[in-house]
């Protein structure tokens, strides 16, 4: 059973999804607190390499937290050498106006109580330990750029789904909770 059915061409469902995301962001229906606390949306990406900004490249003598007694160590069985190989990530803290490390367990309640207010948009210049400066941007900002290619006319052309159903799907996804 369904409230409505969207006909679409084979392999065009991703375009419909991205078109819905564009509607959600354009109409400001996204949950900013959820994006900051539960997704990788605020994680900074270097624009020169398209890799996460690793705190070891920015913070002198950076050491990862000891996860041996927390979820990552006890449940996921991650060893310190695996954590080192996976690397770290950073977000742009709007309170400090600077990049700050964000470790793998600063999610949900832990993020909310960290005192960090991560930026979701913008491009920032960061000085690396080697003296070089690079531009970084949050993943969410990169999505906003990518979504510009998925306007309603383009999504309709790719998927052949009716425009009114694409808009309805986007608005339903942005307003019906949980979605």
Q: How far apart are CA 5 and CA 165, in angstroms?
A: 8
Q: How far apart are CA 6 and CA 169, in angstroms?
A: 9
pLDDT in tens, 52-90: 999 999 999 998 888 788 888 788 888 888 888 888 899
Map residue 45 onto helix, strand or coil.
strand
Residue 177 CB contacts under 8 Å (≥ 6 apart), including other chains: none
Q: How far apart are CA 82 and CA 85, in angstroms?
A: 5
pTM of this prediction exceeds 0.95: no
Q: Are 45 and 51 in contact (CB under 8 A)?
A: yes
Map residue 63 onto helix, strand or coil.
coil
What length is written for the chain?
179
pLDDT in tens, 120-170: 999 999 999 999 999 999 999 999 999 999 999 999 999 999 999 999 999
Determine the pLDDT at residue 104. Answer: 84
What confidence category does residue 105 fall into, taking pLDDT thresholds of 50, 70 and 90? confident
Q: How far apart are CA 60 and CA 57, in angstroms?
A: 8
Positive or negative torsion for Cα 64, 67, 72, 77: positive
DSSP annotation string for 114-153: TT--B-SS--EEEE-TTS-EEEEEEHHHHHHHHHTT--HH
Q: How far apart are CA 25 and CA 141, in angstroms?
A: 11
């Amino acid at each position: 059973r369904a409230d409505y059915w969207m006909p679409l061409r084979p392999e065009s469902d991703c375009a419909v999804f991205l078109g819905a995301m564009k509607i959600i962001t354009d109409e400001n229906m996204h949950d900013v607190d959820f994006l900051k606390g539960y997704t990788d949306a605020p994680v900074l990406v270097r624009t020169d390499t398209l890799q996460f900004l690793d705190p070891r490249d920015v913070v002198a003598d950076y050491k990862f937290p000891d996860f041996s007694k927390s979820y990552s160590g006890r449940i996921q069985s991650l060893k310190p050498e695996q954590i080192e190989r996976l690397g770290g990530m950073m977000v742009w803290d709007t309170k400090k106006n600077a990049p700050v490390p964000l470790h793998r367990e600063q999610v949900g309640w832990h993020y909310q109580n960290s005192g960090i207010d991560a930026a979701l948009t913008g491009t920032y210049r960061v000085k690396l330990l080697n003296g070089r400066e690079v531009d970084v941007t949050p993943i969410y900002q990169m999505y906003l750029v990518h979504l510009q290619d998925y306007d309603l006319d383009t999504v309709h052309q790719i998927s052949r789904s009716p425009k009114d159903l694409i808009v309805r799907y986007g608005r339903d996804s942005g307003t019906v909770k949980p979605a």
